[in-house]
Amino acid sequence: MARPKKAPAKRGRKPAAKAKAKVAATVPAIVEKAQKAADKAAASVAAQQAKVDAATKKVEAAKAKVAAKATAAGKRAVVSANAKLKAEKEKLQTQKAAARAANVAVKSAQIEAKAEEAMSKATETVEAYAASLATKAEADLAKAVAAFEAKWKKSRAKSDAAKVKARTKKESAKAKTAAKKLKAKATAVEKAAAKAATPKKRGRPAKAKTAGAAPKKRGRPAKAKAASSAPAAAPKKRGRPAKAKTAAAPKKRGRPAKAATSSAPKKRGRPPKAKA
């Protein structure tokens, strides 16, 4: 019988098996500490339970001996075994209470750890939100700056166009005024050049003579004489005219004399009292 041929072995290294990554759960320190205490309490309870079980067996054995043969020593052994069992049971109850308290501490530590985790997640969430707001603020600022720049450029271009228009009008008026002055100056220069080109005669130009007119004498014209029929007026004297003389007596200077009266002269002082 022919043997089956084996498949040719592939050369090269064998592909390494992919190791499964074991993700170890991170346990908070407070929970780990509480869990260790709970485990220790549970171990103490288990050890105490073993002692209780052993004490129970001793009680049962002592009772069996007394049942087989009731002796005073057997009875004392039963009492001693029962007391030992009772003491071990009391210790067991104490250790069980400690174990229950340890389990409660574990649950409390777990709740506290969850609260801390929630607080940490909330802080991370707030920080991430703040970072996103900062990024958004930068983007919004860039948009606002671009919009303001476009608006400002448009307004500035409009204002500059108005200023350029006003300046153009002003400069055009200046240029027109200057051109007008230059044109007038050029006209004056042309006139002066044309006048200089014609030959000029010396002296004053001769005045046109009128027919039959008498030659004009220099100085003031003579005053017109009055007709010979009027009598010759006396020559006018200079200064104030003489006052008319009257036959009145010459006026004396000073106060005028008082009129004389026949009454007695007036005395000075108080008048005399009337006699009763």
Question: Would you state the structure tokens that stand for residue 201, as one six-digit string?
Answer: 């005669």
Provide the 10 A C-beta neighbour count for residue 176.
Answer: 10
pLDDT at 1 over 70: no
State the Cα–Cα distance between residues 77 and 69, nearest whole angstrom.
13
Question: Would you state the structure tokens that stand for residue 209, as one six-digit string?
Answer: 């003579």
Burial of 55 (0-12, 13-18, 19+ CB in 10 A): buried
- Please give the full DSSP string across 138-198, using - where no structure is assigned: HHHHHHHHHHHHHHHHHHHHHHHHHHHHHHHHHHHHHHHHHHHHHHHHHHHHHHHHHHHHS
Closest by CA position to 29, among listed 100, 109, 83, 96: 109
- Confidence band (pLDDT; 50, 70, 90) for 197? confident
Output the pLDDT for position 178: 92
pLDDT at 263 over 60: no
Query: Across all residues in the chain, what is the average pLDDT?
Result: 78
Output the pLDDT for position 199: 64
Q: Under 8 Å CB-to-CB from 101, ≥6 apart: which residues?
A: 41
Q: Structural domain boundaries of the chain? A: 29-149
pLDDT at 231 over 50: no
Question: Would you state the structure tokens that stand for residue 57, as one six-digit string?
Answer: 């067996």
Radius of gyration over every alpha carbon of the chain, rounded to an integer in angstroms:
78
pTM, two decimal places: 0.41
